[in-house]
Each structure stands twice: as C-alpha cells, then as structure tokens.
Chain A
Amino acid sequence: MTIQNEIQITPDLVEAHGLKPDEYERILSLIGREPTFTELGIFSAMWNEHCSYKSSKKWLRTLPTDGPQVIQGPGENAGVVDIGDGQCVVFKMESHNHPSYIEPYQGAATGVGGILRDVFTMGARPIAAMNALRFGEPDHPKTHHLVAGVVAGVGGYGNSFGVPTVGGEVEFDARYNGNCLVNAFAAGLANTDAIFYSKAEGIGLPVVYLGAKTGRDGVGGATMASAEFDESIEEKRPTVQVGDPFTEKCLLEACLELMQTGAVIAIQDMGAAGLTCSAVEMGAKGDLGIELDLDKVPVREENMSAYEMMLSESQERMLMVLRPDKEAEAEAIFHKWGLDFAIVGKTTGDLRFRIFHQGDEVANLPIKELGDEAPEYDRPWRETGLYSPLPADQVDEPEDYGAALLSLVGSANNASRRWVFEQYDTLIQGNSLQLPGGDAGVVRVDGHPSKALAFSSDVTPRYCEADPFEGGKQAVAECWRNMTATGAEPLAATDNLNFGNPERPEIMGQLVKAIEGIGEACSALGFPIVSGNVSLYNETNGEAILPTPTIAGVGLIPDWSKMATIGGAKEGDAVILLGGDGTHLGQSAYMRECLGQADGPPPPVDLYVERRNGKVVRSAIRNGQFTACHDISDGGLALCLAEMAIASGKGMQLDIDTEIGPAHAQLFGEDQARYVVTVSPDLANFVCINAEGAGVPFRRLGTIGGDRLTIGGLLSISVEELRGAYESWFPDYMDGTAALAGEG
C-alpha cells in the first residue's frame, strides 16, 4: 500500500497551518513554486512563533548575553557557564503552557522531559530542576484539577528520570484562569572540554536517529502552542505528546556513554517540530544540506505519511551526525540500552533539505532560508499607562497587625508549598544542600570538596502588569538577591517570557518594556541571559495572562560549609534588617491579601543599591558572620520574619520605631534590595559597622528567643500558630475537594 503524501494546497489549509497570507506569499517567492503538503507542514513548523521567535527576536537581541564566565549564550540547546576547575553548568528554562492546560499530567511531564533533554544533549548530566507554575484563582473550577495534574506530571517525570527538584514557584491569580503556566528549568554539569553542539560538520556523513520510535503524537504541537485558546480547546488534546521518563533515562545514559567514545560530531534533540527542526538546525548551522529517507525512520504506528513523520513530536528522540568509523560502536551502546538506532540520512554539500518517502522526493527546500528567512516582525507596541505614586499614608492600616500577618502567612500565594515539593524527589543524587522553602535551592558540585551551585526562579507578575519595565528589572533583581542570600555569586540567568497575543500593541508593549527592564538589570548586575524561551499567545477568549517574564538564575558558592540558610538562627542572636526600612506599599501582597486592592506603582529597583547591598551580604556570609539570612520580598519585613521563625522554630522579640514612618509600611512594604540577617550577639556591632562603612542602611530589630514572634506593641503570635497557618492552606485546599485517603 502506498501512503498518500499529496494533498491539494488551499487557502484554508494554509490558514489552518497558522500561516498568514503574506507569509504564504513569502514561501511562494522563496521556492518559486507551490509547496508540497509536506513542505507546507515544514514551513508551518519552522515559521510559527514558538520556533521562529518572529515577534520577539528584534527585542531579544538587546539582552546582555556575554561575560567572562559565559561559554555559550543563547542559540544552542542551553546556555553554558564556566564554574572553574574545568567544569561548567549547562542550563535553560522552557515553557509548556498550552499542553499543560489541555492535558496537565502529560503536558507538565513532557515539559520536564524536554528541558532535561536540552541539557544532556550538550553533554551535561542533569543535577537540578525547578518549576515555576502559575494557576488560576483557587476556586476557579479548573484550578484544582490543573494543580493536581501538573504537580503529579512534574514529579512523575523528574522523579523517574532521577533529577532532584530543588526549587520553583507556585502562584495563583485569576488572570491564569484560562491559561496556566508551566515553566520548567534544568541544569546539568559538564566538563568544559566536552560540550556538544548541534552544528554538523563534514559532507556525506551519516545522520542517525536515536531513542524512541516516532508516532503521531504531538503532530502540529508547536503550531498549536503559537495560537490563542478558545472553546475548541478540547479538540487539541491529540496534539499533546506523551512522555516516557524510563526511555529518557536510558537515552541520557546512552548519550553520555556514546559521547565519551568520540563518535559524536553533532547532536540535536527532537523537541518542538521534531525531526524537522532538529535536522534543519544541524544542517543550517553547519552550512550543509541534509537528506532524509523516511522509510528508515523507526515508527510505532502504521501508514504514517511524510507530513506526520516530519511534524511528530514524539518524545525521547535524538538526531546525531556520527563519525562513520564509530557507527558500530554507537549502535552497540544504543542497543545495550534498548533504544532504536537508525541511519536515516546523510549530510550533503548542496544546502538543500531533501526528504524522501517511498522512493519519492516529498520535500526539497533551501535549508538556510528555512530558518534565516523566517518572517520577522517589528510589531506595533505601546506603553501601558502607569499608576501615580501611592504614599503609604493613603493605604489603610490593618485593624489588627497579628491577624493581618496570619492571613498573609496562610494565603494561597504565600503559604508553604510543602504539599507540592514533597511530591518531587528533592534528595536524589545525594548532593542537595538546601531544599525548596528557603531563598534558593543549593546543590553540591559532585566530587568537589567545597563548591556548590544555587538556583532560584522568580518573577512578580503583578509588578509587571503595573509597570512592565520595573517588573522586568525586579524579576532579575529578586532572582539575583535570592542566590545572594545563600552566599552565592550569581553567575547567569535564563529567561522564560510568557505573554499574551503580541499582535495587540498593549501586549507587545509589555513584552518590549519587560525585556528592556530585564536587560538593564542584567547589565547592571553582571548577570547575563544565556538561554531562554518565549511563550506568546497565552490568552483565552481574548483575555491575556499577567505579563510573566520568569527569570531563573544560577549562582556559585565557593564553600558550602559557610552558606547561609533561612532557618539557622540561634537563641540570643541579634536580628538585623539590612537595606533600609519599608516604605512602599504599592502592588504589595498586603494590599492584595488584606485590602483586596491592586493600586500604585510596584516598588522601584535601584540597581546600584541592589548590587551594593548584595555585595555586603555575600561577603559577610562568606566570612561566616550570619547564622541565618533571608531576602525581603512578597509580604515585606513581617512575612520575612515569620518565614524565618517558622524555619528555625525559634521566636523573636523585636521592636520597630513608629516615629520613622507608618508601621504598616515598615512591616509590609516591599521595598527592594533588603535582607534580614541573624548574627551572634558578639558579632552584631561588627556587622552593623561594616554595613555602615559600605553605606548600607541597617536597623537592629531585636533578638532571637522565646516561642513567639513579637513586634513591639503591634503583634505577638506563637511560632506554632504561624506554622499552622503556613502549612495548612495547601493541603486543606487540595484535600478539601479531593477527599482522598489520608496518609498513614
């Protein structure tokens, strides 16, 4: 039987492929004829927003991507950063938003699988993962189901693959009701002299297909991910791929084993748009053509057309160019791990992308132009209106400070994420030094006596909504600050930019201004962006998500025995606020949770101050001066202190001076670049003198002791009550509607 590859191209068919009429005209003039059906599919895969970055490219180019520590910036499977001693950290963050909303378990699982593959494709063994998850409001009918499915999917894949999940975020907001966000981060460790790239070299060399077989799952997934949602969303379920972490684990081991033999010239994982994107990438980067014979592709379904094979997003697959003399050795390694190994084509010198199926040539396209000539748009944009200043005395004080703090501690957005992270294996590999719940996840560099890496993922979408530029800056600053709070030197970051429909000028304006803010902060902090991903069209029925530029960073701790933690305070320690008093209540968690308001500008980030304060904190940690350290962010000083008390199990006897400003601004203000540290009493003066010498404002708040968090005449709550509020929201929420059997 012959499989039908030819289908008449009609305007409707072009539109169904997400190609605009002018984009189709561009295809016609590029190849000088009508494309075949397979070719149309290839163009649609290469030119959709997800793969081509056609709306964001112009602005992404403005981001700082260089630094002495950077080995590989954006443009490869992942960024690569030097950590000394001949080793490097390879990392990236990527979204899997649309698939996770359609099918939460598999969507999230394959998001984790995809990002792990990006990392080990470059020759790195994954050592840490994080996940930034954003859902609709808790009582929205879909939210509970999405939280349960996404968390189980993240855990199901990562736990089985064997990477510790050491950090992440979970946030709820009505603006994600119709479009949740799943941003998956992975980092791996490699030797700097053994990094693998996608650029093919040499003519006539075998192109080898490795890993799992190709099925019809995910056909058209990247095109789906580049469109808005509407009521027909359920029909898109077949475009979501199905993950198999067992195959991925075998693929990891087989790839790393094969890389050691010197057989690999180029390697590219099959992610979005599968075989199409990976083959074009390898050829175009190496100035080579690629010829594929689809009759050789291992398939697990019958009668697949060329179109389906080229667009399948079946998971756990790799494409490689191998040294011909090592073919047999490579094949043996893959068979040992029970994986498919097939020579499916070769590199050519003619810069054409040629596809054969059943003896016919079904595609013959210029390989460079497929990527390079993708449309690029300078879309119209306009700035969002900004809020006028909101002095703290115009914001209502709480009637009861204790009740206000308890409601913040036990709120959906600030309560403990234990229900989530206990479903993730946080300990595997035996190198986890700080688990989720502190400022950053910390993982020891395996085999090194003292070095460790810190990881944090951050963004405050309500700030970005109120002021995309300041919000972009703040996302970078908070990530940088979270790593600093452990004592780590922030090295570099990856950005995952989640926005609505860029064809709307106000959304495009959010993207432009957020990138500008990110760029400014990264430059000022010496914290370059080395990889990333853009996810647009996050809208349902015309309502966009909050602008959410997630920043995930990596930092280096030279000696983990001196790192700081959130819960290390000792009885009698002095509690010191570094970085100044709280004054700014605009867009604060206090206003949102306690007053039900979103007003005022977000707190501005002074990058000079951020850098200066961070330097003082890092240096004190490395000199062993702090027993605990925590950055001040959502919920201000009060929530920061409550989290420290819960983590250490120790009370605090503190005072604030109400003469210097309104008490609610001091307790709940979200002014940036601030930390709370605890210091043994004999070092407290020394720490304060050092801060003063460096120009960092400081205030001695009181001492660690007792079993209550007491702040002057304002509030006094037992640590147990705080812990109860903090730990109960998530399990109550999840078990309230699920009514599953309780644990043992």
Chain B
Amino acid sequence: MKSAVLLLPGLNRDRDMIAALTRISGEPPVTVWQTETEIPDVDLIVIPGGFSYGDYLRCGAIAARMPVMEAVRKKAQAGTRILGVCNGFQILVEAGLLPGALMRNASLKFVCREVLLEVVNADTVFTGRYGKGDIIRCPVAHHDGNYFAAPDDLKRLEDRDQVVFRYAKGTNPNGSINDIAGVVNEAGNVLGMMPHPENLIEAAHGGTDGEALFAAALEIAA
C-alpha cells in the first residue's frame, strides 16, 4: 500500500516518519507540501510530529487552516487512512477531524521519555496487529499532550471504543484525562496519538514495538 507524508514548515519528525514508512513498506512515501491542494492517491496519509508554524497561536491551529488540510479532510471523508502523531494529532484535533483538545502538559514542562501504552482497542485498521490489552513500549516527546474532552464527548469516546491507546501502569506523562494517549474517529480511519511509534521500530531504537502499527496500517504481509 502507498503512503504520503505531509510536509509543513516547522514539522521536524518528518524525516523519522519517512524513514519508518520506507523501512516498513520498502517504498518511500510521497511527500505533500503545505501549499498543495490535491493529495495523490494513497492508502495512508501521515501528519508527523514537530512544531508546525512554530506552534504559534496554539499547537496545530495554523496548520489546521492551511489549504492542504482541506485536501486531507476530503481524503478522510473518502475513507483514506489518516495518522497524526504528536503535532499531527494536535493538527487533526484543531482541524476538527478528531474530538477533544490537547493542552499543555500538567507539569508545564516538555517531556521526552519512554512510556507504556495499553492497546485498548485492537479492532482498528491501525492496531489490528496488537492484541487487546497488550502493553507496549513507546517514547513520548511533547510539551502539549494533555488530552482533554468535555464529559459528554468523553463518554461518547469511551462508549464507542474510540480510545485506542492509554498510558499504562502509572506512566501518564502529561496529565491526560482517562490516561488517553490516542483516539480514533467514529469511522475508524483517522487516528491521532501523542507517542512516537516511528522512534521504536528497529534494534537501534532498543525495541520494535512501534512496527506493528505501521505494518497494520499499510497491510504489510506478516
């Protein structure tokens, strides 16, 4: 399956993401620049991490209003798989493609460390290679990953199994409500997550727990 990576000024884990997708699929992803209004025909669109537009105004707020996001929205509606990691998650939330908000970490500090994630929903196109309840390792690196949703929204998210990953075993690094680390939209084709699976996919990273996410999303033969 083919993939594309969005390139916006200020994103900085684009190279990590391109390397991960290339490694796992054997084929480099297409790159899509901020001004483009059409996205080529691909199966997975990834918005990587970083500080798009300097995180000025609000994380992801400027990116969410760029023309290219209109194209992403159309693709999402058409059922294309969309993955937003870290700043990508913030952008998807700001664009209204995912519910909730990402606030400043409760510690008010940037945090980069490895956490544990519980796979809460293994029935998505992104998590099908994990088992429900699996605990996986994954690094985080962010300043604004404190997920919040209003009580009604939160109840709906939980009731419909839209919470995909939770920080496990007391490793919540940012104060997220209900330990939420990643959520999927109702249709199940748009996933946003704060942790960085692309930084844990080979021996050099000290583990490969992130690999299964990309392998599932790209339907790589097991």
- Partner-B contacts on A (CB < 8 A): 152, 155-156, 159-162, 244-247, 249-250, 253, 337-338, 421-431, 433, 444, 560, 740-744
Report the separation of the CA atoms of residues A244 and B108 in the bound assembly, to the nearest whole angstrom.
20
**Pick from B10, B15, B199: contact of A160, CB under 8 Å:** B10
Instruction: Among B176, B179, B196, B198, find the residue whose CB has the most chain A CB atoms closer than 10 A.
Output: B196
Which A residues are in CB contact (< 8 Å) with B108?
Answer: 740-741
Q: Are B19 and A430 in contact (CB under 8 A)?
A: yes
Question: Given A424-B112, A428-B16: A743 and B204 within 8 A (CB)?
Answer: no
Q: Are B12 and A426 in contact (CB under 8 A)?
A: no
**Pick from A246, A422, A430: contact of B205, CB under 8 Å:** A430
Task: Tell me the chain B residues, 84-118 only, with Cβ under 8 Å from chain A.
Answer: 105-113
Expressed in whole angstroms, the minimum distance between the Cβ of A196 and any Cβ of chain B is 21
Q: Are A423 and B111 in contact (CB under 8 A)?
A: yes
Expressed in whole angstroms, the minimum distance between the Cβ of B182 and any Cβ of chain A is 15
Report the separation of the CA atoms of residues A424 and B141 in the bound assembly, to the nearest whole angstrom.
8
Q: Are A425 and B204 in contact (CB under 8 A)?
A: no
Q: Are A246 and B51 in contact (CB under 8 A)?
A: yes
- Is the CB of B9 closer than 8 A to any CB of chain A? yes
Task: Tell me the chain B residues, 1-24 only, with Cβ under 8 Å from chain A.
Answer: 9-10, 12-13, 15-16, 19-20
Report the separation of the CA atoms of residues A253 and B8 in the bound assembly, to the nearest whole angstrom.
12
Expressed in whole angstroms, the minimum distance between the Cβ of A605 and any Cβ of chain B is 34
Given A246-B54, A338-B9, 7 other A-B residues pairs in contact with their CB atoms under 8 A: A250-B10, A422-B112, A422-B113, A427-B196, A741-B106, A741-B108, A743-B175
A-B pair count, CB < 8 Å, reads: 102
Which A residues are in CB contact (< 8 Å) with B13?
Answer: 162, 428
Q: Are A152 and B55 in contact (CB under 8 A)?
A: no
Q: Are B199 and A337 in contact (CB under 8 A)?
A: no
Expressed in whole angstroms, the minimum distance between the Cβ of A586 and any Cβ of chain B is 38
13 contacts between A and B (CB under 8 A): A160-B50, A246-B51, A337-B9, A422-B112, A422-B113, A425-B110, A427-B112, A427-B196, A428-B12, A430-B20, A741-B108, A742-B107, A744-B176
Which B residues are in CB contact (< 8 Å) with A249?
Answer: 9-10, 12, 51
Q: Are A156 and B110 in contact (CB under 8 A)?
A: yes
Q: Are B12 and A743 in contact (CB under 8 A)?
A: no
Report the separation of the CA atoms of residues A288 and B111 in the bound assembly, to the nearest whole angstrom.
49
Q: Are B167 and A161 in contact (CB under 8 A)?
A: no
- Partner-A contacts on B (CB < 8 A): 9-10, 12-13, 15-16, 19-20, 50-51, 53-56, 105-113, 139, 141, 143, 146, 167, 172-176, 179, 196, 198-199, 204-205
Q: Are A430 and B16 in contact (CB under 8 A)?
A: yes
**Pick from B54, B112, B172: contact of A425, CB under 8 Å:** B112
Which B residues are in CB contact (< 8 Å) with A161?
Answer: 12
Expressed in whole angstroms, the minimum distance between the Cβ of B20 and any Cβ of chain A is 8
Report the separation of the CA atoms of residues A431 and B176 in the bound assembly, to the nearest whole angstrom.
28
Q: Are A160 and B204 in contact (CB under 8 A)?
A: no
Question: Given A246-B10, A337-B9: A427 and B51 within 8 A (CB)?
Answer: no
Report the separation of the CA atoms of residues A286 and B69 in the bound assembly, to the nearest whole angstrom.
47
Report the separation of the CA atoms of residues A448 and B71 in the bound assembly, to the nearest whole angstrom.
36
Report the separation of the CA atoms of residues A407 and B13 in the bound assembly, to the nearest whole angstrom.
41
Q: Are B106 and A744 in contact (CB under 8 A)?
A: yes
Q: Are A743 and B105 in contact (CB under 8 A)?
A: yes
Report the separation of the CA atoms of residues A444 and B172 in the bound assembly, to the nearest whole angstrom.
29
Expressed in whole angstroms, the minimum distance between the Cβ of A63 and any Cβ of chain B is 35
Which B residues are in CB contact (< 8 Å) with A433?
Answer: 204
Q: Are B53 and A246 in contact (CB under 8 A)?
A: yes
Which A residues are in CB contact (< 8 Å) with B55?
Answer: 160, 246
Which B residues are in CB contact (< 8 Å) with A245?
Answer: 51, 54
Expressed in whole angstroms, the minimum distance between the Cβ of A180 and any Cβ of chain B is 20
5 tightest Cβ-Cβ pairs between the two chains A and B: A162-B12, A246-B54, A744-B172, A744-B175, A160-B51
Q: Are A423 and B204 in contact (CB under 8 A)?
A: no
Which B residues are in CB contact (< 8 Å) with A430?
Answer: 15-16, 19-20, 198-199, 204-205
Which A residues are in CB contact (< 8 Å) with B106?
Answer: 741-744
Q: Are A743 and B205 in contact (CB under 8 A)?
A: no
Which A residues are in CB contact (< 8 Å) with B113?
Answer: 422
Q: Are B9 and A743 in contact (CB under 8 A)?
A: no
Report the separation of the CA atoms of residues A161 and B54 in the bound assembly, to the nearest whole angstrom.
9
Expressed in whole angstroms, the minimum distance between the Cβ of A437 and any Cβ of chain B is 12
Which B residues are in CB contact (< 8 Å) with A428?
Answer: 12-13, 16, 141, 199
Report the separation of the CA atoms of residues A253 and B33 in the bound assembly, to the nearest whole angstrom.
13
